[in-house]
Amino acid sequence: MTDALNWTPAATPKAEPIDGRFIRLEKLEAARHGDDLWAVLQGPAADPALWDYLPYGPFSERSAFDRWLQGHATGQDPLFFSVIDRRSGQAQGLLSLMSIVPVHGRIEIGHVAFGAAMQRTPKSTEAVYLLGKLAFKLGYRRLEWKCNNANARSRRAAQRFGFAFEGVFRKHMVVKDHNRDTAWYSITDDEWPRVAAGFERWLSEENQRPDGQVETLEQCRKA
């Protein structure tokens, strides 16, 4: 048997505001954020592929969307955050901390739904970075990312963010009457300092310039 860990369980996260350079994370509130989120996630300019691999949506009626938001806003696991664009003040997406197990130091980022205005911008990357930073600050040992193995976009995102691929759970779930094989990824606490330094370098003013990025996130992490 290996040596015993000097281990103290992690703290339970709270949905307190977190400010970044491009975005602000706020606790999801259906009344405050509902109009913006309906527009960016379900409106005419919404990403048509957004709901393909999520276990809910799309929503044809605003009332059903509002009930869905309200149900998530009151929960603690998943713990939902709205992503607020700092320049416009608009809520442009959602994500959560979930599968929260403080006693073992395990936590996951999931339920990611970013509007088109966030996709392929520093805002989406910063949202993931800020939740990762919070998780490890609270003492978690392991940050997870899971997705449908057929979801190539989510798999690319996990790898780009610095999550390590761990394998596929075959026939893990039935979602929307379809089989889901689940791909598992993680970042551990000993890996986080290097991953965090890459995020910070990529998000910096020196790298994110008006005409675009200088280095990719992968290049920043290697540097």
Task: Assign 153 to helix, strand or coil.
Answer: helix
Half-sphere exposure at residue 7, Cβ-oriented, CA atoms within 13 angstroms? 13
Q: Within a domain: residue 38?
A: yes
Amino acid at 216: T
Segment 143-202, tens digit of pLDDT: 999 999 999 999 999 999 999 999 999 999 999 999 999 999 999 999 999 999 999 999
Q: Within a domain: residue 157?
A: yes
Q: Which domain holds residue 132?
A: 18-222
Segment 58-110, tens digit of pLDDT: 999 999 999 999 999 999 999 999 999 999 999 999 999 999 999 999 999 99
Give yes or no for residue 1 having a pLDDT over 90: no
Q: How confident is the model at residue 48 (pLDDT cuts 50, 70, 90)?
A: confident
The mean per-residue pLDDT over the stretch 204-211 comes to: 94
Q: Within a domain: residue 8?
A: no
Q: In this structure, how many other beta carbons lie within 10 angstroms of the beta carbon of residue 102?
A: 16
Alpha-carbon distance 84 to 221, whole Å? 26
Q: Within a domain: residue 4?
A: no
Alpha-carbon distance 33 to 26, whole Å? 10
3-state percent helix, strand, coil for the chain, nearest multiple of 5: 30, 30, 40
| Total count of domains within the chain | 1
Beta 142-148 vs 106-114: how paired, if at all? parallel
Q: Within a domain: residue 216?
A: yes
Segment 156-172, tens digit of pLDDT: 999 999 999 999 999 99
Q: What sign for the dihedral angle of Cα 146, 147, 149, 155?
A: negative
Q: Within a domain: residue 11?
A: no
The mean per-residue pLDDT over the stretch 203-211 comes to: 94
For 56-125, give the DSSP string. Answer: S---SSHHHHHHHHHHHHT-SSSEEEEEEETTT--EEEEEEEEEEETTTTEEEEEEEEE-TTTTTSHHHH
Q: Within a domain: residue 33?
A: yes
Confidence (pLDDT) at 5: 83
CATH number, domain at 140?
3.40.630.30
Q: Within a domain: residue 206?
A: yes
